[in-house]
Amino acid sequence: FLLSLKLENKTKGKLQKQICQVVLDHFEKQYTTELGDTWTSVRDVLTYPLCWQYGILLNKFSQSAGLEDTLLEKGYHPAFRGPLPYLPASLKCYIRRSPGRFPAQKHQAGKLKEYYLLNAASLLPVLALEVKDGEDVLDLCAAPGGKSVAILQCAYPGQFHCNEYDALRSRWLKQTIESFIPDPLINLITVSELDGRQVGDLKPELYDKVLVDAPCSNDRSWLFSSDTQQATLRLMQRKELSSLQFQLLRSAIKALRPGGSLVYSTCTLSRAENSDVINLLLNSCSNIVPADISEMAKAVSQEFAFLRGMQQHELLVLPEKGRTWGPMYVAKLRKM
């Protein structure tokens, strides 16, 4: 009991991080303008980690007897309960209304983990992608690997290409894959460290489905930057992110086969990195059309809070008390 108490206090200590005032002031200005009154309630969640909830994605390749029963006893329930346009029976994620994190499992060489802890909203891009068995799939900015693992819970792609340009994050991605995916299946996965902006030219029209979970200004983690100088630099460079995101999307479109689908996602509330990037793409690429994801949003609206007034091809998950998921922007496009 004492050990569990120590662990709990350690966790609480970790969660009571210091807010970076420079970032908060920047967000105050931008998001009050973009979100209006909604920003106040979103800010209250983002700046108070003790109220954050965590989803538990079960690993179908390493199922533990009794784990689902344990979760149900602890007040967890399935995050996704039809009628979703796409919900493979093998994708199982559990959530609960109360905050707190289920204990994480350590990486052990040669042993698969039974579950992955994540922000449940990060599964929405995977559900929007609708991967089927045998399809060729590209995860263009794949680290740390949660969405790649989730895709493999849903289906067995023909070929699965996970790319991560950053060397350090690429190591993290490889470790995640090793922790969750068994040997025979790992052989079907290609992990590369290519510049995502060049993948489309290197691999034109090779994929049925492409996920672009783009580098973005990660609102949750930026708010707790421990280095004020680094935070200030990040905020100055923030304007350049939308240009990078646009280039990654252009590359993804080249890599996509005609008739294929592309899902774009970020974990920021910033309009410049979300709707503006997608609108620019739709206006400049005649072979791309929006794909409706409003049915999916409607089906999960009990568990997730969405920003009103979005187009049918996009959604933005807003963190709120009791549903602290997000921020997560998702947009879906189709190549003609």
Annotated binding site for S-adenosyl-L-methionine: 141-147, 164, 195, 213
Residue 111 parent element (H or E): none
State the distance between the two ends of the chain, measured CA to CA, in whole angstroms. 60
| Residues 81, 292: Cα–Cα separation, whole Å | 20
Q: Which residue has the tokens 């200005």?
A: 29
Using left for φ > 0, alpha for ψ between -120 and 50, and beta otherwise, residue 146 falls in alpha
Which of 93, 162, 216, 267 is an active site residue? 267
Q: Is the separation of the CB atoms in 83 and 299 below 8 Å?
A: yes
| Residues 142, 120: Cα–Cα separation, whole Å | 17
Side chain identity at residue 287, one-letter code: N
Q: Which residue has the tokens 């290609």?
A: 190
| Residues 80, 150: Cα–Cα separation, whole Å | 13
Q: Which residue has the tokens 């149900």?
A: 72
Q: Which residues are annotated as a binding site?
A: 141-147, 164, 195, 213
Q: Report CA-CA distances (Å) from 135 to 158, 290, 336.
A: 5, 21, 17
* Beta carbons within 10 angstroms of residue 214's beta carbon: 26
Contacts of residue 244, Cβ cutoff 8 Å, sequence gap at least 6: 197, 214, 215
51 catalytic, yes or no? Answer: no
Residue 89 parent element (H or E): none
Tokens standing for residue 255 = 């890599």
Just list the catalytic residues.
Answer: 267
